[in-house]
Amino acid sequence: MGRVAVLFGGRSAEREVSMMSGAGVLEALRRRGVDAHPFDPAERALDDLRRDGFERAFIALHGRYGEDGTVQGALELLGIPYTGSGVMASAIAMDKVFTKRIWLTHGLSTPGFAVARCAADVVQAAARFGLPMAVKPSREGSTIGFTKLTSADQAAVAWEIARRHDDEVLCEEFVAGRELTVAILGSGESARALPVIEIVAPAGNYDYQNKYFRDDTRYVCPAELPAPLAARIASLALDAYRALNCEGWGRVDVMLRDADQEPFLLEVNTSPGMTGHSLVPMAARAVGMSYEDLCLAILAGASLKIGGGR
């Protein structure tokens, strides 16, 4: 693999989680004999990667400046192969509104949505979609800035919470049902879905704390679903991943509506968490792949997407 930089930390709102993901990846790679080293872009200039002779980069950054195409573009310019999706796919997947627009052109199911530029727009969206309704930043992850709007009186507060994190606020039709996620490894037609996971959070609230720091969220892997339905959800997730031209690995979040068992796409994570609570390692374990093997497989797929091989 050569000299490998594990990029983690960074400047996004998800820095704390990225630090945990990166520490896990770094230790796993070293246990497998990889010459891996930590690299925090918030503390070092990216051109140090070339100066220090790094030959590959494992991106364990989450959110802005790591999952949104920016660091991917820098690595392309530096000529250093990196893990995960390329510049365009990363940028699109980070933008939930743009992602939904692309999915709709492919005929893929996703909850109804509207962009709110002021609190009044949130009220209008609530009248259109009904309550409850999801209000969240278009370009954030880990449910940062998320509000489950249950009363139009909360619209101004919900909009302000989301607006603190992004200029573009997404109002999304709320799908009452089971929360599922599908990890994917590979690229193009060779991409494969790992077993579907169901997330059962306390009071249905899978927020930042419940994702990463509490132990009372339950995960069912594989999810208890009829085989044809599980296959349909996995196929939908693969279609969603391919529609954005994602590569290497990722995770697609899905809601399964209770009323009719219809699945709806929420978002794609192109640099998912790799912490002790993370879902891609959990899905990999379900098919007999250890955390170390998963890290190696992701690293082995590192490449330059624009300029080709190094």
Active-site residues, by number, are: 14, 142, 212, 251, 253, 267, 269, 273
Q: Phi and psi of 32, rounded to 5°?
A: -95, 15
- Report whether 8 contacts 21 (CB < 8 A): yes
Burial of 220-254, coded b for 16+ CB within 10 Å and e otherwise, reads: ebebebeeeebeebbebbbebbbbbbbbbbbbbbb
- Report whether 229 contacts 63 (CB < 8 A): no
The token pair that represents 184 in the structure block: 């994917």
N-term to C-term CA, the chain: 13
The token pair that represents 142 in the structure block: 């880990």
- Distance from CA of residue 247 to its chain's centroid? 13
Residue 69 backbone zone (phi > 0: left; psi -120 to 50: alpha; other: beta): left
CA distance 198 to 221: 7
How far from 188 is each of 159, 177, 215, CA to CA, in Å? 37, 30, 35
- H/E run at residue 163: helix 155-163
Residues ≥6 apart with Cβ < 8 Å to 239: 106, 108
CA distance 187 to 12: 26
Angle (nearest 5°) at CA 40 between 37 and 41: 130
Quote the DSSP letter at residue 196. Answer: P
